[in-house]
A and B are shown apart, each in its own frame.
Chain A
Amino acid sequence: SQQGEEDPQALSIQEGENATMNCSYKTSINNLQWYRQNSGRGLVHLILIRSNEREKHSGRLRVTLDTSKKSSSLLITASRAADTASYFCATGSTGNQFYFGTGTSLTVIP
């Protein structure tokens, strides 16, 4: 079963704008990971945030985590056409597997 749910399902923005996507989950977690997937390809790991962290940055990426609301957000600043992809959150809890959401499809228009 999939625990995470991304919102929106699809997002279209102009190059240079910021893109924000959200992930909500249902149960307690140890960590949350964000991945990018280009069409028909494998998943590229973007960032991992632990349950005791509230915010994390990596280049143009900013991830926040609010465990009280069971939600996370991924912000991509100054978007580029190459950022066009699907973005997934994956939650890790006390089990050994991690669960993915349904993804947000981002289109960046040049």
Chain B
Amino acid sequence: DTGVSQNPRHKITKRGQNVTFRCDPISEHNRLYWYRQTLGQGPEFLTYFQNEAQLEKSRLLSDRFSAERPKGSFSTLEIQRTEQGDSAMYLCASSLGQINTEAFFGQGTRLTVV
């Protein structure tokens, strides 16, 4: 296992289309996080899973965003009816389910909405 894997690396979509991103965490990690990062800013928290349960969602996550983590393994993040403001880097991270453990990030999926 070489780390957190995200696919695709880049996605260009037309406004109004739906997109789905995938994240494969480090295999023994039961916590999985999604963050969004726009140019020149730090990553912003979107949502978090403990195994298959989605335990926390940011107010930033509108109804057009949905995330799943079936069977507590990989996770998907779907954005419906994309808007230009959704253009950003979407980052996934995973960690062991214990306090004070490091979180490791994938390379991210860069979304461009045209």
Which chain A residues have a beta carbon within 8 Å of chain B's beta carbons? 2, 4, 30-31, 33, 35, 40-45, 48, 50, 88, 90, 92, 95-103
Contact = CB atoms under 8 A, between A and B. Distances in A.
A96 to B, nearest CB: 5
Given A31-B100, A42-B91, A102-B41, A96 B50 contact: yes
Interface centre among A50, A97, A99 (most CB of B within 10 A): A97
11 contacts: A30-B99, A33-B102, A40-B89, A41-B107, A42-B4, A44-B105, A50-B100, A96-B56, A97-B33, A101-B42, A103-B42
Residues of B in contact with A, size category? 20 to 34
Contacts, number: 64
Interface string B73-103: 0000000000000000101010000011111
Nearest to A52: B100
A2 B42 contact: yes
Q: Which are the 10 A-B pairs with shortest beta-carbon distances?
A: A100-B42, A42-B107, A43-B105, A97-B45, A42-B105, A100-B43, A42-B108, A31-B100, A48-B102, A102-B42
A58 B10 CA distance: 33
B31 interface: yes
Contacts of A31: 99-100
Interface of B: 4, 6, 31, 33, 35, 40-45, 48, 50, 55-56, 58, 89, 91, 93, 99-108, 110
A104 to B, nearest CB: 10
Nearest to A94: B99
B3 to A, nearest CB: 9
A103 B107 CA distance: 18
